[in-house]
């Protein structure tokens, strides 16, 4: 019974992210930097092999930008897509429907709900929909040529399961990243206030 209660408590835990209200200029600078970082990471897939690992990390900057501000998160998402259009056009669709979409969904999940399971579900469902849109509508072989041609119930279940697990991992990473940004930015703000007095 205790094990069951611990399992339920684990899934119904609340996240403790409360974003400080940054000044508009700080949001713009953070959003711009995070957008450039996301574009560089996403375009690393061009290298192949190890570059694909970096390309997956493009979710982080978008999630963090959206957590800081939903408006600036969406702007960061759009700016990153435009940068990719210039740097690596073949990665734009992948970014818009997978890594970037997951980042926006996680960021909005953190803003709209306190339960970590709800945040992970929001990200997982958004990623599932994005991958399925790439497969069905755009016929983009995001899962490789053989799997992309045969979209059936098994593929949909596999994509959904993967998306939920992947979203859970990124939710945990985003929590850690947001804590670090809050700590460092707020320390800088307090330091500047002390200097001016």
Concatenate the DSSP letters of all residues of 8-41 into one string.
HHHHTPBP--------HHHHHHHHHHHHHHHHHH
Average pLDDT over residues 108-112: 88
CA diameter of the chain = 66
Provide the pLDDT confidence category of residue 141 given band limits of 50, 70 and 90.
confident
Lowest mean pLDDT among 18-22, 24-28, 167-171, 180-184: 18-22
Classify residue 10 as exposed, middle or buried by CB count within 10 Å of its CB (0-12, 13-18, 19+). exposed
Long-range contacts of 32-37 (CB under 8 A, 24+ apart): 32/76, 32/79, 34/61, 34/62, 34/64, 34/65, 34/76, 35/61, 35/65, 35/75, 35/76, 35/77, 35/79, 35/80, 35/83, 36/83, 37/61
User: What pLDDT is stored for residue 174 in this prediction?
Assistant: 81
Whole-model pTM: value is 0.81
Q: How far apart are CA 51 and CA 43, in angstroms?
A: 8
Domains of the chain: 22-104+112-196 (1.10.1760)
pLDDT tens for each residue of 162-191: 999 999 998 888 888 777 766 766 555 445
pLDDT tens for each residue of 58-75: 998 999 888 888 899 999
User: What pLDDT is stored for residue 162 in this prediction?
Assistant: 93
Q: What is the percent of the chain with per-residue pLDDT over 90, rounded to a whole number? A: 32
What does the mean pLDDT of the chain come to?
Answer: 81
φ, ψ (nearest 5 deg) of residue 2: -65, -40
Higher per-residue pLDDT: 175 or 97: 97
């Amino acid at each position: 019974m205790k094990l069951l209660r611990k399992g339920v408590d684990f899934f119904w835990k609340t996240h403790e992210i409360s974003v400080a209200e940054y000044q508009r200029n700080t949001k713009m600078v953070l959003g711009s930097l995070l957008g450039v970082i996301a574009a560089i990471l996403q375009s690393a897939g061009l290298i192949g092999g190890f570059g694909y690992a970096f390309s997956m990390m493009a979710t982080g900057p978008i999630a963090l930008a959206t957590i800081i501000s939903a408006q600036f998160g969406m702007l960061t998402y759009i700016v990153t897509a435009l940068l990719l259009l210039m740097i690596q056009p073949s990665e734009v669709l992948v970014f818009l429907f997978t890594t970037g979409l997951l980042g926006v969904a996680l960021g909005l999940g953190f803003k709209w709900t306190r339960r970590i399971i709800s945040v992970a579900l929001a990200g997982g469902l958004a990623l599932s929909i994005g991958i399925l849109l790439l497969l069905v509508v755009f016929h983009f072989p995001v899962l490789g040529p053989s799997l992309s041609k045969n979209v059936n119930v098994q593929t949909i279940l596999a994509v959904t399961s993967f998306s939920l697990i992947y979203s859970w991992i990124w939710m945990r990473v985003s929590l850690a990243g947001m804590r670090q940004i809050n700590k460092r930015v707020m320390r800088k703000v307090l330091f500047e206030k002390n200097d001016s007095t």
